[in-house]
Amino acid sequence: MTQPQSLSAADNPLLATWAGPFGLPPLAAIKPEHFRAAFDRALAVHRAEIDAIAADPAAPTFANTIVALEKSGRDLERVCNVFFVLAGADTGDEIEAIEREVSPLLARHGNALYLNAKLYARIADLHARRATLGLDAEQARVLDRYNTRFVRAGAALDKPKQDRLAAINEKLASLGTQFGQNVLADEKAFALILEEGDLAGLPDFARAAAAAAAEERGAPGKYAITLARSSCEGFLQFSARRDLREKVFSAWIKRGENGGATDNCALIAEMVALRAERARLIGFPTYADYRLDDQMAKTPAAARKLLDEVWGRARAKAAAERDALQAMIASEGGNFALAPWDWRYYAEKLRKAKFDLDEAELKPYLQLDKMIEAAFETARRLFGLTFSAVDVPLYHPDARAFEVKDKSGAHVGLFIGDYFARPSKHSGAWMTSLRDQEKLISPVRPVILNVCNFTKPPAGEPALLSFDDARTLFHEFGHALHGLLSNVTYPLLAGTAVPSDFVELPSQLYEHWLEVPEILQKYARHARTGEAMPKALIDRVLATRTFNQGFATVEYTACALVDLDLHGLADPAGLDVGQFERDDLKRIAMPAEIVMRHRLPHFQHLFSGGGYAAGYYSYMWSEVLDADAFEAFSETGNAFDPATARRLRDYVYGAGNLRDPAEAYKAFRGRLPSVDALLKKRGLADAAV
């Protein structure tokens, strides 16, 4: 490992004042070699700040402890934000190497903060006296969150236990980094290179995308299918070549499980054991108990109850769907049982037969640029926001920036959209930030990003989306609004800093507006003719909403159940990950024709970082909320009802973590949600159990 030369702040754009437009970091000037020095310096500054707070001879007060903590670590946060934006969206060997070096340093730093006994003593003292401190509601919430975080991190434990916790956290951080990099390596390593004659069934857009992917991989004139979800799922949906579908599908579900240096199985076993040990140290029987204690669900039993309510119905619906697909195979003279690599292909055919709707007919109407406008227009009608493109230096030419203003023309924040797949980008879609909203010292406006992996069109062609892509765009944009509309004083409570079973409410709820007919009518326009999507086509699109939902629900819910079971193990020592997955799927009676949406060896939600470990259920938990929340608009007869939108902004999109999620939801809706709207939305309400 070579130590970079020490750079002065003046030479290092990361440490200099960010004087760019909108206070953006000078992204074009930042080079990988700047990060290590910037991390070292920012970590040292934050350490000194924490030590000073902990050693303050004055008795603890809210100002000298909590406010001081909230004001500390500003450089570190800035450096981290820039670094992790790049590590996700535009990485490479140098950034990956720094990530491997820095992630244990950051974990160690976090440990030192949350296991600092003197600091915790001050917080615990304040927390015990909280009723007498004259705090307002937000201050009380911040104090309570700090106390909970310290206790959950192990601050109340003795020194030997704390040392062990610190070691566990560091190890988990580096294992998590390795996990994500292994998946990316397996994805990069695979490309199925095809000739013109292999493309039977593929519509023009899929051919064009495959040609572009081949070009990018140095095989001009040929066609490449990659393991990016859009490339791979598109191929599975359309390719008439059963042999090639099997090849692609097999590679896809084997990511992280190919033996050798990039195999994740041993790594998962180690992570699960370490998590269980951490939970026990802090006083919980399992990691799932520990994890859910600080969520809206509160207990694994509550999460499982919801999943169980859905699982039986989903399996029943999937069985009926399977029978219909098998009948289709038979009617075509096929003499084979439906396999997992057949499902998407025959489902697409059946969708076409049943609704006379095929993706290829739909796609020219779903132009990326128009769908971005549609997401913006929805935000204008709900929250009075406007978006205008601005030309500012970003980290990659494909990323674009928009200034966000409110009704009065005041600056709200900056939104950056980075939509196209490329080899330097991790798979999936996410929202992240370069700066979060707060107003503790002075008003700080957010800089929010959406990163997606849509297929880049050939030069000069418009980018076209599938309906799922368009939904993903709205989903991530909902997260972006959660960051942009945040209206809190304290950084700790800003934007998406809410429990993970609540954080998907703003995003999943936003997906509903894509399906509002007036949005589709206006923004779904044919790429060549400019014609609006015909009403009959829109009706057919909306009629297919519950089509194949048995499959989709099974594919997802199986992941959530396996996650809860894996992290619900009290003693996972010596775990054989492959065996566990097989046994657990057998236990829940997983249909043979469906594979988990994310198998454990590449389940990044659980192991790349770990934000969703024992928390994958939260997508469905949030879906209960979003289905119920959208009904609040439906009940008024206006999908943009101003009074409902106002409450939604006050208690959800703008409220960060100001309130307990159940309280926030009740304040918006007047009551807690029920599962009925979700079952109806997925077409499962009538499925026999």
Q: What is the set of active-site residues?
A: 476
Residues 265 and 566 sit within 8 Å (Cβ to Cβ)? no
Tell me if 486 contacts Zn ion by CB under 5 A. no
**Segment interacting with Zn ion, rule: CB under 5 A, options 257-265, 501-509, 536-544, 608-616:** 501-509
φ, ψ of residue 367 to 5 degrees: the values are: -85, 135
CA dihedral 261, 265, 271, 274 (to 10 degrees): -110
Helix residue spans in 524-576 (DSSP H): 535-543, 549-566
Range in contact with Zn ion (rule: CB under 5 A) among 131-139, 240-248, 333-341, 497-505: 497-505
Query: Residue 366, Cβ neighbours under 10 Å: how many?
Result: 28
> In angstroms, what is the minimal distance from the CB of 507 to Zn ion?
4
For Zn ion, which is the closer residue by CB, 88 or 572? 88
Output 504 or 623, the one with its CB closest to Zn ion. Answer: 504
3-state secondary structure of 431: strand
Q: Name the minimum Å distance from CB 479 to Zn ion.
A: 6
- Contact status, residue 161 vs residue 281, Cβ threshold 8 Å: yes
Site string for Zn ion, 37-56 (x = CB under 5 A): --------------------
| CA dist., res. 395 & res. 523, Å (int) | 29
Q: d(Cα 40, Cα 324) in Å, to the nearest integer?
A: 60
The CB-of-475 to Zn ion minimum distance in angstroms stands at 6
Nearest residue to Zn ion by CB is 507
Residue 399 Cβ vs Zn ion, minimum distance, rounded to whole Å: 19
By the 8 A CB rule, do 344 and 234 touch? no
| Residue with Cβ nearer Zn ion (383 or 612) | 612
Closer of 25 and 610 to Zn ion (Cβ): 610
CA distance linking residue 553 with residue 555, whole number of Å? 5
CA–CA separation, 408 and 383 (whole Å): 12
Encoded tokens for 444: 């700080």
Q: Is 147 in the site for Zn ion (CB under 5 A)?
A: no
Q: Which is nearer to Zn ion, 504 or 555 (CB)?
A: 504
Using CB under 5 A as the criterion, what x/- string covers residues 404-423 for binding Zn ion? --------------------
SS3 580: helix
Inter-residue contact 561 to 300 (CB < 8 Å): no
Nearer to Zn ion, 450 or 553 (CB): 450
Among 125-133, 324-332, 388-396, 500-508, the segment contacting Zn ion (CB under 5 A): 500-508
Say which amino acid occupies 6: S
DSSP states along 280-347: HHHT-SSHHHHHHHTSSS-SHHHHHHHHHHHHHHHHHHHHHHHHHHHHHHHHTT--S---HHHHHHHH
Closest distance of CB 506 from Zn ion, Å = 9
Residue 472 in contact with Zn ion, rule: CB under 5 A: no
**Other beta carbons within 10 Å of 282:** 19
String of DSSP letters for 98-158: HHHHHHHHHHHHHHHHHT-HHHHHHHHHHHHTGGGTT--HHHHHHHHHHHHHHHHHTTTS-
- Options 169, 507, 553, 618; binder of Zn ion; rule CB under 5 A: 507
**3-state helix vs strand vs coil in the chain, percent to 5:** 60, 5, 35
346 or 454: whose CB is closer to Zn ion?
454
Contact of 264 with 258, CB cutoff 8 Å: no
Query: Considering the complex, what minimum distance in angstroms separates the CB of residue 619 from Zn ion?
Result: 7
Phi, psi of 203 (to 5 degrees): -70, 170
CB-nearer residue toward Zn ion: 507 or 657: 507
- Taking alpha carbons only, the member of 176, 157, 148 closest to residue 275 is 176
Kindly indicate which of the ranges 65-73, 402-410, 466-474, 503-511 contains the residues binding Zn ion, using the contact rule CB under 5 A.
503-511
**Residues between 319 and 348 with contacts to Zn ion, criterion CB under 5 A:** none
Asked if 26 and 13 touch (Cβ cutoff 8 Å), the reply is yes
Token look-up 């109340």 returns 156
Distances (CA, A) of 680 to 105, 623, 638, 685: 48, 12, 19, 5
| Residue among 73 and 673 whose Cβ is closer to Zn ion | 673
Distance CA 371, CA 384 (A): 18
- Nearer Cβ to Zn ion (170/504): 504
Contact 25, 82 (CB under 8 A): yes
Cα within 13 Å of Cα(18), Cβ side? 19
Give me the least distance between CB of 452 and Zn ion, in Å please.
Answer: 12
* Minimum gap (Å) between residue 469 Cβ and Zn ion: 14
Task: Using the minimum distance from each CB to Zn ion, give the nearer residue, 321 or 504.
Answer: 504
At its nearest, how many Å lie between Zn ion and the CB of residue 451?
A: 12
Q: Is 77 helix (H, G, I), strand (E, B) or coil?
A: helix
Residue 501 Cβ vs Zn ion, minimum distance, rounded to whole Å: 12
Nearest-approach distance from CB 128 to Zn ion, in angstroms = 37
State residue 417 phi and psi, 5-degree precision.
Answer: -110, 125
Angle, CA 185 vertex, CA 269 and CA 227 arms, to 5°: 105
Q: To the nearest whole angstrom, how small is the minimum distance from the Cβ of residue 647 to Zn ion? A: 22
Q: Interacting stretch for Zn ion, rule CB under 5 A, among 65-73, 144-152, 179-187, 498-506? A: 498-506
Per rule CB under 5 A, count of chain residues that contact Zn ion: 2
Q: Binding segment for Zn ion among 108-116, 374-382, 505-513, 557-565 (CB under 5 A)?
A: 505-513
Query: Could you tell me which stretch among 345-353, 499-507, 563-571, 631-639 binds Zn ion (CB under 5 A)?
Result: 499-507
Return the closest-CA partner of residue 553 out of 242, 320, 341: 320
Nearer to Zn ion, 194 or 648 (CB): 648
Give, for 247, the enclosing helix (H) or strand (E). helix 242-253
Residues lying near Zn ion in the complex (CB under 5 A): 504, 507
